[in-house]
Amino acid sequence: MKADPAGVLTGAHYLDGDFACGEGAMAAGCRFVAGYPITPSTEVVERIARRFPMMGGTFIQMEDELASMAAVVGGSWTGTKSMTVTSGPGFSLMMENIGLAAMMETPCVVVNVQRGGPSTGLPTMVGQADMMQARWGSHGDYEVIALCPQSPQEAFDLTVDAFNLSELYRVPVLVMMDECVGHMTERVMIPPPEQIEVVPRTLTTSPPEQFLPYRVNGRVAPEFARAGDGYRFHTTGLTHDERGYPVMSAECQETCVRRLVEKVRGNAQKIVRFEETETEGAEVVVLAYGITARVARMGIELARRKGVKVGFLRLIVAWPFPERRIRELACKVKAFVVPELNFGQMVLEVERCAAGKAAAVPVPHAGGSVHDPGDICEAIVRAAR
């Protein structure tokens, strides 16, 4: 369906990534946000807090990030699209209820504007070191979807996509921004509502006496009933059966958890998204995401001037990872060069998928600033030798 015009600020704007992300959420139909202030993400909810009262949305500033994430899961069970926004330290606290959202199959969006870590780290400065936490941060086996915008425009676009994906797969979807993209101001085009495709919450049409909250029946995710419609369903963070009732057995664990994992893994080819340029005939492929993708372009340009054939693969969806494409490319190139603002996270995934057929060269950076493009160029040149 098309976006609700009330949430869409159509036109050309000059916005930073945080504001654009907030606009994306409102355009996607988000009407409940619970958050806790944390630099460098706070502007997202500040934008929303200012605009929500005019469009039927409710924002609440909770007492901490544990509460914010719990409230978002509760909010989503009313059918109201829900989101929270944070950065590293808050993201750590949210892990508990991101796991609950995954287990209860609750559509919701979590934005993490990444800053330098660990611990309090660099509150006002950039990092990309939460990428593995996004994938593995809560205990147990589950799958999420994570998106990485490289610009304010993408902060808008991908936040809309994040809501749509969360509705389709009933998983928490993480928008893994970074401080640079969050605080960089650029032109953002917000289309008219009729040009914004929005996946609505689809409610079950089964009568309550026949409804089972976790029966899949060949669909990607179970049918949804919201609180207050007379279904009187039960849902729990415990391992559960189709009725949503707890069952403490290895058999039920197998069925329940396998499905949580498979609904994303089994559809990975539909979910993965990347931008690929000049990989045909390349000796080296640079893989990057977020702000580092933009810095990497300069490094690639410098390496090309030195005669190296360099391709570029920019992750738009980081999780699930474009495993198949990396395997294919690994058979054709000498090496992947992976600059990221951490000491090697997504590069591990590249290394795993390349499986020894091509080298995976990290270009580590602790964060606080972006890479020097010269360092990326140097890594490319060395990898091509």
Question: Which residues of this protein are in contact with other proteins, per CB under 8 A?
Answer: 1, 4, 6, 29, 31-32, 34, 53-58, 60, 62-64, 66-68, 70-82, 96-97, 99-100, 198, 200-202, 226-238, 245-246
For other proteins, give the closer residue by CB, 229 or 372.
Answer: 229
Closer to other proteins by Cβ: residue 198 or 350: 198
Q: By C-alpha distance, which of 371, 309, 365, 363 is closest to 339?
A: 363
The tokens 């990975």 sit on which residue?
Answer: 268
At residue 37, φ and ψ (nearest 5 deg) are -65, 135
Minimum distance from CB of 228 to other proteins (Å)?
A: 5
The one-letter code for the residue type at 327 is R
Minimum distance of other proteins from residue 377's CB (angstroms):
47
**Smallest separation (angstroms) from other proteins to the CB of 154:** 23
What's the CA gap between 325 and 313, in Å, rounded? 10
Minimum CB separation of residue 58 from other proteins in Å reads 5
Q: How far is the CB of 190 from other proteins (least distance, A)?
A: 18
Identity of the residue, 52 or 319, whose beta carbon is nearer to other proteins in the bound complex: 52
Which amino acid is it at 125? M
Residue with structure tokens 């101001």? 185
CA distance 255 to 322: 26
- Give 197 or 275: the residue with its C-beta nearer to other proteins: 197
Sign of CA dihedral 320, 42, 365, 277: positive
Question: Which residue, 100 or 131, is less far from other proteins as judged by CB?
Answer: 100
Q: Are 367 and 342 in contact (CB under 8 A)?
A: yes
Q: Which structure tokens are listed for 207?
A: 């009568």
CB of 60 to other proteins, least distance (A): 6
Strand partners, 175: 111, 147
As measured in angstroms, the least distance from the Cβ of 94 to other proteins is 11
d(CA 97, CA 73): 8
Please identify, using beta-carbon distances, which residue of 35 and 299 lies nearer to other proteins.
35
* CA–CA separation, 126 and 192 (whole Å): 32
DSSP β-bridge partners for residue 34 = 60
Q: How far is the CB of 177 from other proteins (least distance, A)?
A: 23
The sign of the torsion formed by the CA atoms of 181, 185, 187, 192 equals: positive
If the CB atoms of residues 28 and 313 are measured against other proteins, the closer one turns out to be 28
In whole angstroms, the minimum distance from the beta carbon of 244 to other proteins comes to: 9
- Residue among 76 and 150 whose Cβ is closer to other proteins: 76
Nearer to other proteins, 6 or 366 (CB): 6
- Report which of 385, 383, 181 is spatially closest to residue 295, judged by C-alpha positions: 181
DSSP state of 194: G
User: What phi and psi values does residue 97 have, to the nearest 5 degrees?
Assistant: -90, -10
The token duo for 251 is 């058999």
